Each structure stands twice: as structure tokens, then as C-alpha cells.
Chain A
Amino acid sequence: MIPPNRFRVSLRRRTAAGLLLAALAAPAPAAHDGERLYTRHCAACHGTDGHGGVGVPLALPDLLATVSDDYLRKTIRLGRPGRVMPAFHQLSDAEIGAIVTHVRGWAKTPPLPEPAVGRGDVARGAQKFATYCVGCHGANGEGGHGTGVTFSRPRDLPVLAPALNNPGFLAAASDAMIKATIMRGRQDTPMPNFLNWGLSEQDIDDIVAHVRAFEKRPRAKVAVVSAAEPQVLLRTSPYSVARTVERLRNAVAGANMSLIRAVPADEGLVDDKKENPARMIVDACDFRFLNKALAIDPRVGLLLPFRITVVEQQGKVLVMSVNPRRLTTLFNNSELNPICEQMYRIYNEILDEAVM
């Protein structure tokens, strides 16, 4: 029989050994998981090999030499509110770490040592910022325009100037990283080495202090949707389904849209001649508007072309479409907000005219 004390020790040892075994057996993402996770969560925007697309290129030697793993981790976790890059709340720390390891694998050299950052003067930094940085990063650090760029469309540059006032950027970037970027620049992007432009380290410390002061300014606008915003724009028509569809045809023409089709909603799903004429769809598009929207964000095809559904239900004829204002947040693209707002207004006008 084991004495009680020895039993407790034995139990503790076994428990410890069990925990150790469990920890070893736990599915912590291995290095190779980084590639799988990157492919699943990042490659759609940043490209399979990190050469960019909807998102910025990541396989830039100067980028990887300048940014820390902590910067990459926080960027993935927090995203860039209103600047397309979403926040990956659903990934564990270990999964984010595996992705960072995978991205880091594209670096040909280890990260360079971070420069020491001295005390900067915000006011002097503002002056230097106005001279050297505003042209690309905007007067308030709001960044370059043209989010959602894609290689499927003409583009002047592979990257956008980052929004330095973005809360996601400010939370992720250390002062040393900002300083290193200004000092060294980024090859293959428009960001020059500002030491070569004659700035001193003190000048750069001043600029860093100015950029850090963006934290105290009003935040960048992002899509904010009221919880009360309906998911569907809905009207009740006083007309029959056929008459409502006819009125919709006229309404979309009046809004300078091209009618694409007005057909039963189940056409193509059910066999020919078995479609339900009490459920119709009307598809319409303003291709100039669509072209403009796609240039801002190629994912906007989730909302366009404009589709109106007409349904007869218990003696009522309902006319409806998705609510672009409700869906704005999906894209995390503040440049798209005015487009969605315009869509919201036009859709409502068309629905109103059809049931008037």
C-alpha cells in the first residue's frame, strides 16, 4: 500500500506528466500550418506568394526588414478599420503566430535592428510632415486613395500610401518601426529613404512624434451601421405582380439604369414552364456606376447589379432589395461608404416610384 504522502507526490507527478503529454499532443499550429492558414485567410487579398492584389504586397524585402513580428500580429488581430484589411478576431494567438512565421519566411534577411527614437517635437514634426509626407499620406495622415485595388484593373502603383492616422496602424506600429521606415524607405514602393533627402535623425524623431499625435485626433471614419437599419428595403405595392414589374421597368429606366432582365425568381432553378409567376426578379445596372464602384472595391459584386424581388404573399405584393447601407460594414472600406449610401438612395427612389 502506498503511504498517503507518497501517493500525493505520485499523483502530482502523474498529473504533471499528464499535463505535459497533453501539451505536447495539443494541436499547436506548426510552421507548416502557417502556409495553410495564410492560404485560407490571407492569400485572397495578398496573393499566394505575398505579391499583393486586393491587399498590399507583403513579400517586400524592406517591409520585412523593418517590421517586427509584433507589428504583424497586431495588424492581423486588429485590422485597419475602414481600410479593407479586416480584423481576424476568430484566429487564436497561435494561429496568428503561425501566419507571421510563414510571412517572415519570405524575408531574405532577418529584421534589422530598430533605431533608437529620441524625443521629438510635435510642432516641428508637423512642419516636416507637411513638406515631405502630405503628398502621399494626406494632410491628416489619412493615406492614399484607391482602396481595393486589384491587378484586374489599371493601377499606377502596387501599393497605397498607408493611412498613418488609422487606429489599427497606430496600435500596431512602434515609434522605432515608423522611424526605421522613414530612414530606410521601401524599395519597390514610392516610399523613399529620407536620410538621402537630407532629413536628420532629429527631423525624423519630430515626424514620428507628429504621427504618434494622430492618436489624439478624431478617428478615421468607418462604416457604422445602426442596429435599427433594416436588412431589406421593403415596400408593399398596391398593384399586381405583373403591373409592379412593369412599373419597376419604367423606374429603373428613369434612373438611367439598363434593364438586364425581368423574369421569375426561380427561373433556371426549376424546370422550364414550372416557374412561379407570383415571384419575380428585376435586375438592372448603371454600368458607369458599377465601373466606378468596382474601381474602389472589386468585391462590390456582392451588392451589384441591382436586384429587386417582387413577391405575392397572402394577398400582398412585396417589393424588396438588399439594403446596401446594412451591408456596408462587410467591406471595411470607408471609400466605399459613399457609394453604398448612393445605392441606398437610388434603390429607395426606384422602389418608391414603382409602388407610388
Chain B
Amino acid sequence: MAPEDVVSRVFGVDRGRVTDATSNTTLAEWDSMGHVNLILELEATYGLSLSPDDTLTMTNVEAIKRVLQSRGAAW
């Protein structure tokens, strides 16, 4: 499952609307509670534990992909 799929599922938006530029400023559903849920889902999907610094930077899809790749996650 690609990070875009996770973002689409967590926020309940069409998969086609999710691009690298999708961020916590472009999606109303991506609020602080939504961010917590996104982190939980990413951790569960890729079986890894994200650091507090990671979670602070992962506020758009492009950054999410970068962090996940640096942690060896593949999709």
C-alpha cells in the first residue's frame, strides 16, 4: 500500500486527489487529531516506529515518502 493510499484512507478523500503536494494545509481533515491518526496508520502499515522529529516533518505526502524511504520502507 502506497503512502497516498494511507492518506486517502485516513482522511477519507479520493485516492486521485492525493498527490505529493497534499499537506496539512491543503486538506481540512488533516488537523492535529488527523495527524496523530495518520502517524499511527503509517506505523502500522509499514511496521516501523517514527521518531518525534519525523512526525513533525511529515506534514505533506512528499515529506512522508522521503521519511519512509529513509527508514527502509517500500511500497
- Chains A and B are bound partners: no
Which A positions have Cβ atoms within 8 angstroms of B?
A: none
**Which residues of B approach A to under 8 Å, CB–CB?**
none
